[in-house]
Amino acid sequence: ADQKKKRSDDVKSGISALLKDAPLPIQMIGKLVAPLMSGLVEQMAEQAKSMNELADEARIMLSFNSRAKSILGDNIFVDAPFSQGSSSMMVDGRQTTQIQASFGVSGSIQSGICNMVASGQDGETKIDKLVLNVGGQVFEIDPSGKTTGPGPSFSVTGSVGNNSGSGKNDIIDAEFVDKK
């Protein structure tokens, strides 16, 4: 609560200092905009905190997953997201949030990329889906934390996404590998 107030005061004082020599109407607009800006800064700070917590949760999930450990190795490290997006909406007084992020992961053996989807309500966000991509092989990590041991993996080659040139009889090359 004290950090929120300090951030809000910092934004308001920063806008006031920026507009101190401006004409009176501009200063008045600045006083109207300051609460909106402090709200935006607060939302960004909350999202950054939530993203840090989710990245740490993803690292723990990868560390305790036997497939991820066998592929990446020990000492799994999660990089800052290189792509992320979030959406929030308020329904019946409850805030629902969805976060999508992609970040690099590395271990003592090799590195890869993780794609994460998380959602939650009222500030409680959890990972719904975590997908590890290492060397073109894609592994879905069970968010429940259950480790079932090595299982089948798959890799897909070719174009993924909205491909306007593709028809319903086009072939996608897929290779299934059952690890024992």
Query: Which residue in the block uniquely carries the two structure tokens 């006083």?
Result: 31
pLDDT digits (tens, 9 = 90+) for 105-156: 999 999 999 999 998 887 778 889 999 999 888 888 888 755 443 444 433 3
- What's the pLDDT score for residue 154? 39
The neighbouring-strand residues paired with 119 are: 98, 126
Mean pLDDT confidence for 63-91: 87
pTM for the predicted model, two decimal places: 0.61
Q: Are 71 and 139 in contact (CB under 8 A)?
A: yes
Question: Euclidean distance between the first and final Cα of the chain, in Å?
Answer: 52
Within 10 angstroms of residue 15's Cβ, the number of other Cβ atoms is 19
What does the pLDDT look like over 7-19, one tens digit per residue?
Answer: 777 777 777 787 7
**Phi, then psi, of 53 in degrees rounded to 5:** -65, -40
